[in-house]
Amino acid sequence: MQEIAIVGAGPYGLSIAAHLRQRGIPFRIFGPPMDTWLSHMPTGMLLKSDSFASNIYDPDGAYTLKKFCKERGIPYADMGLPVRLETFSAYGLAFQERMVPELERKLVVGLERTQGGFAIRLDNGETCLVRRVVVAVGITHFENLPSTLAHLPPQFVSHSARHADVEPFKGRNVAVLGGGASALDLAGLLHEAGANVQLIARKPALVFHSKPGLMPRSLWRRLRHPDSGLGPGMRSRFFANCPWAFPFLPQGLRLRAVQRALGPSGGYFTRDMVVGKVPLLLGHTLERTEVQGARVHLHLRSSDGSDKEVVTEHVIAATGYKVDLER
């Protein structure tokens, strides 16, 4: 019986494996490396997190994104130069080769509790016994498709996590539903790819991150709004730098913090890709949908109570994820 198995080989799974490896704790890790980033995010996307906050955590902090970019001759700056999805994905693959060479590119197809541990079934027919299991499968297994769209045939609707490549939509009419980063990224990239895209969101206005200043800030401003991996501000600094203290806060305060901090928003660089280029239909809620011929008819209700109908060929639901712990 092995001590630990890690299911998933994205940034979290690889980081945990690197720490176990350094401490000499036996483990096995399964899954294709960086699969969510390579297969479920659109090519051309930029990360919202600053470069200095986009490292995969190894025990000594030795293999940072900065070091990777220096080795590969990729332009890098701690702040102010967004990280390309392709760069981060390549960094993750390099991290795996260097820090977690034990990775087994097998899929876990079954997990059962046994006496003293768990039995893991792999897609090659193998079963292995382990005492503990770390589940690091990411969120793309929990795509949230609203009930107003769930009944549509797949040729008319898809979730944003299904589109690593937007080129097939060139010349087609597409409606993107949502107001967060996934919706804004996809809308901008679809427009650049030549799709006839429009964005529909319940929010009356879109929110974008502020562009980091290139000039040094005064000491007073740095004290009042310190930088952190989650962005500037005392609250973000606390959440990022004092994670062990957060659980000791009163439950009501923690819930309010989760509800108010870091809501749906786009990166500052997305504004120029969307605003003034992609038709926006804000303050509208999807009431029902129906297929007529080769088109989807979206029936919307605006914040002022009026009705509107949008006709399109395909709907991309950038409507987030709902994690089911029972799964």
Residue-range domain boundaries for the chain = 2-135, 147-207+265-317, 219-260
Distance of alpha carbon 63 from alpha carbon 58, whole angstroms: 7
From the list 109, 102, 142, the residue with the least C-alpha distance to 128 is: 109
Q: What is the pLDDT of residues 141-174, one digit of tens each?
A: 899 999 999 999 999 999 999 999 999 999 999 9
Secondary structure class of 282 (helix, strand, coil):
strand
Distance of alpha carbon 138 from alpha carbon 59, whole angstroms: 21
State the CATH architecture for 2-135: 3-Layer(bba) Sandwich (3.50)
Q: What is the pLDDT of residues 19-39, one digit of tens each?
A: 999 999 999 999 999 999 999
From the list 291, 321, 304, 29, the residue with the least C-alpha distance to 148 is: 291
| Amino acid of residue 119 | A
CATH topology of domain 147-207+265-317: FAD/NAD(P)-binding domain (3.50.50)
Secondary structure class of 147 (helix, strand, coil):
helix
Q: What is the pLDDT of residues 216-272, one digit of tens each?
A: 778 887 788 888 888 888 888 888 888 899 999 999 999 998 888 888 899 999 999
Give me the pLDDT at residue 213, please: 66
Q: Do domains 2-135 and 147-207+265-317 have the same CATH topology?
A: yes
From the list 240, 286, 14, the residue with the least C-alpha distance to 145 is: 286
For the chain, give the mean pLDDT.
Answer: 94
More confident residue, 327 or 101: 101
Report yes or no on whether pTM surpasses 0.85.
Answer: yes
